[in-house]
């Protein structure tokens, strides 16, 4: 009887994430180390955690998440305009910058440049998108007390602090 993925276990998985709209891959652990996460503590996006509950070693699950269950909807208030003089030299459409905000550092993306006017987008790059994941379970083990108190997985493929 192998341990299924459930709250307070550490799951180690290989995953590939694609966009159902065009099949393009936005992230994958294949060819590198698998990912370990502490289950049930918000380390992963909500839909990913829900869909993997109960899976056991060797099992592969494929699922598509709506934006609400992934990185949320795009927020139009996250799109703002500024002047080129406010930004570092050499920015282009697609450049990612880190902005200091009231809630801490946030990545922003330059989404348009029109003369002196720069449009930036503070939404997560995957906000508003449905996401498909193919996830293979490599290992499942009980989490230890330190991991539960820290809220993340430790060990070879997790954090080391």
Query: Could you list the residues that contact Zn ion (CB under 5 A)?
Result: 150, 161
Long-range contacts of 139-142 (CB under 8 A, 24+ apart): 139/10, 139/11, 139/12, 139/34, 139/36, 139/57, 140/2, 140/3, 140/4, 140/5, 140/9, 140/10, 140/11, 140/12, 140/55, 140/56, 140/57, 141/3, 141/9, 141/10, 142/3, 142/8, 142/9, 142/10
Closest approach of Zn ion to the CB of residue 6, in Å: 20
Using the minimum distance from each CB to Zn ion, give the nearer residue, 70 or 143.
Answer: 143
Shortest separation between residue 150's beta carbon and Zn ion, angstroms = 3
Tell me whether residue 86 or residue 160 sits nearer to Zn ion (CB atom): 160
Of the pair 74, 159, the CB lying nearest Zn ion is at 159
Q: How far is the CB of 152 from Zn ion (least distance, A)?
A: 6
């Amino acid at each position: 009887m192998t341990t299924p993925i459930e709250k307070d276990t550490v799951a180690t998985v290989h995953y590939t994430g694609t966009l159902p709209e065009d099949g393009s891959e936005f992230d994958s652990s294949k060819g590198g180390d698998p990912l370990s996460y502490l289950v049930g503590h918000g380390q992963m996006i909500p839909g990913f955690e829900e869909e993997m509950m109960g899976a056991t070693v060797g099992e592969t699950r494929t699922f598509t998440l709506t934006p609400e269950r992934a990185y949320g909807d795009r927020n139009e208030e996250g799109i703002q305009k500024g002047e080129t003089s406010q930004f570092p030299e050499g920015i282009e459409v697609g450049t990612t910058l880190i902005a200091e905000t009231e809630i801490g550092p946030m990545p922003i993306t330059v989404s348009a440049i029109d003369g002196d006017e720069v449009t930036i987008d503070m939404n997560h790059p995957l906000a508003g998108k449905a996401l498909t994941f193919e996830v293979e379970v490599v290992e499942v083990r009980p989490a230890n007390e330190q991991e539960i108190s820290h809220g993340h997985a430790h060990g070879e493929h997790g954090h080391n602090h």
